[in-house]
Structure 1
Amino acid sequence: MELLVAALAGFAVAALTAPVGVSGAVLLLPVQLSALGMHGPQVSATNLLYNVVATPLGIARLARSARGNGAEMLVVTAAAVPCAVAGAAVRVTWLSDPLLFRGLLGVLLLGTGVRLLSPSRRDAPPRPGRERGGRRLLAAAAGGASLVGAAVGIGGGSLLSPLLIGVAGWVTARAAVVALTTTFATSVVGLTAYAVFDRVGFGAAPAAPDWETGLALGTGGALGSLAGIALSRRMGERPLRLLLGALVCLTGAVYLAGLLT
């Protein structure tokens, strides 16, 4: 029954979040902590396993309609690799405190939701001579998102996508493929780091993922991401972004309120 709940949860959140470049892991953390009763760094590792399974189909589908994003995808992948290892190390040491972890999760959820609710600007043509500098900023943003994403277990796309849409003014389709690429790279490297840390006894335990739960979440998420991308083509990006932003804000507020009680 728990695996069925996990698969359904993965499908539902991915259908809502994949079209805007968010894997859904940001909303699965509360499911694992509350509904499935998981705890410790294992929660973050299991979420990254979900990303590894759930995001490739969505990336492939989005990449078919994306043009000129190959260099950007390489930039964010290169930035994500070392930062994901660092993020996993932070999680099994400093962020092993449950209250600290929940507080950080609540802040990230609220920030992500606010950005998604903010009006987005359309793409502006690149200015001459600014392409290299723009890629440096993209690498820095992807690296920071990867570090935090690996530590919390959300992969980084849920942090990077709102920045690209709300701050940089990218259209959702362009931001989505780059953000999901960041999530996938972060998740593969971060998941490996968690498994190694658990194996050698570094930091708090358990750090290795719950493989069955992660695979069930990911299988549902893979199907949900395809359904969500198809749905977005009929509904448009704005309704999905507003719905996701409201849901993420509400979840973050509930977590922060729980720390005060």
Structure 2
Amino acid sequence: MHFPVSGVDVLPFIPPLVAFLVSSLTASAGVSGAFLLLPFQVSALHYTSPSVSPTNLIYNIVAIPGGLYRYIKEGRMAWPLTWAVVIGTLPGVFIGAWVRILYLPDPKAFKVFMGLVLLYLGYRMLSELMGWNKKVVEQNKVMQKKFAQQVAKMKEENSGRLASGLPAEAVVKTKSISWKKIEYEFWGETYSFSAMAILSLSLVVGLIGGIYGIGGGAIISPFCVAVLGLPVYTVAGAALAGTFITSIAGVTYYHILATTSIANQTAVTPDWLLGVLFGVGGLLGTYVGARIQKFLPDKIIKIILTFLILFLALSYIGQYFFS
């Protein structure tokens, strides 16, 4: 099948299949998987024009509602965290687009900076998994113990059959909201974080999204888990929501660009047909990823997230030195 906007030739079942496989793996950690689909489009499909970025964002717009629906339905949306991420992200996208045009015609140096930031977050995640950070290890013991006890209980009640590790009552309940601190309860435990810290982080993530055309979940999710110590079960939905909003703003911006003189110099109009095909596979994949999250111990989800972050960090750093 030929896609005239992008010039890509590919069997029509390949994009949704690849998107499904990627997103079903990443959605449990709050990452849409778009950053893995971008190199697939560039390297495997030879889609190398600038319009590949908004096409990738279309994938996010179509795919993410599947995961969000599941997280909302099962009560694992930390709404104060979600709205803080959304409010901070949105203005950052447009500021980032403005910065990209005026000051970063060649953003290679900023990519290595981004790679180092992600490498630090990956180290924080890895230190938690390896037990190097004793404070975070102690914080996580309660959740891990509850999960193990719930699995044992459900297996006993179901004669050893596979059972969900999260009970129906494991939902997020908001306790207090202020500009200084937001508190919520999950599975009998109280978690808190600085509202200004999340707003500031989200603004930076939106800025990066506007510059590079990435959603930002791969940055927000590990920061909330590794730095703020929030349970990954409650972070994933908020991270996906932030990515969703960023992507809508990004596609809107690229369509505005397409009406300017810039469009005469380079291809910026997204390939909607290709993006939607990827999105259909992603819609099913994010739903599956969010659905299976409650069957996974948080350590498994964090291993997935750590791998994704380190992969992205080394990819950005590698692009600086080898591109």
* TM-score bucket of the superposed structures, by smaller chain: 0.7 to 0.9
Is 2:71–2:77's contact at 8 Å kept on the other side of the alignment?
Answer: no
Q: Is the 8 A contact 2:225 2:231 kept in 1?
A: yes
Tell me the amino acid that sits aligned with residue 7 of structure 1.
P
1:157 aligns with 2:166: no
Is the 8 Å Cα contact of residues 77 and 234 (structure 2) preserved in structure 1? no
Provide structure 1 residue ranges, at least 5 long, that are not aligned to the other structure: none
- Select the residue among 282, 301, 312 that pairs with 1:221: 282
> Cα RMSD (Å) of the superposition?
3.2
From 80, 84, 103, the equivalent of 2:93 is 84
Counterparts in 2 of 1:59 and 1:128: CA distance versus 1, 3 Å: closer
> Is 1:48 aligned to 2:98, yes or no?
no
* 1:56-135 to 2 correspondences below 5 Å: 56-66=65-75, 69-92=78-101, 94-97=103-106, 103=112, 107=116, 110=119, 113-119=122-128, 121-122=139-140, 130-131=180-181, 134-135=194-195
| 1:2/1:36 contact within 8 Å kept | no
Residue segments in structure 2 that go unaligned for 5+ positions in a row: 1-9, 129-135, 144-173, 183-192
Percent identity between the two aligned chains: 32
Matched, 1:141 2:150: no
- C-alpha distance 88-13 of structure 1, shift in aligned 2 (>3 A): farther
* 1:92 Cα deviation from its structure 2 partner: 4.8
Normalised by the length of structure 1, the TM-score is 0.84
Write the letter of the residue equivalent to 2:252.
Answer: T
User: Is the CA contact (8 Å cut-off) linking 2:112 and 2:316 kept in structure 1?
Assistant: yes
Q: Which residue of the partner structure matches residue 3 of structure 2?
A: none
Alpha-carbon distance in structure 2 between the residues aligned to 1:153 and 1:74: 21
Asked if residue 171 in structure 1 is aligned to residue 231 in structure 2, the reply is yes
Mapped to 1, the partners of 2:272 and 2:237 lie a distance apart of: 26
Aligned residue identity for 1:233 = K
Match of residue 240 from structure 1 = 301
Measured against aligned partners, the alpha-carbon deviations of 1:122-159 in whole angstroms (never above 9, x if no partner) come to 49999997426821221111111111123222211111
Instruction: Give the counterpart of 1:192 among 252, 256, 262.
Output: 252
Checking the alignment, whether the CA contact within 8 Å between 1:79 and 1:143 is kept in structure 2 is yes
Alignment of 1:17-28 (within 5 A): 17-28=26-37
Aligned residue pairs, count: 261
Which structure shows the higher helix fraction? 1
Mark the CA change 1:162 to 1:51 in structure 2 (over 3 Å): closer, same or farther.
same
Amino acid at match of 1:48: L
Structure of higher CA gyration radius: 2
Q: Is the 8 A contact 1:84 1:189 kept in 2?
A: yes
AA of the residue aligned to 1:240: I
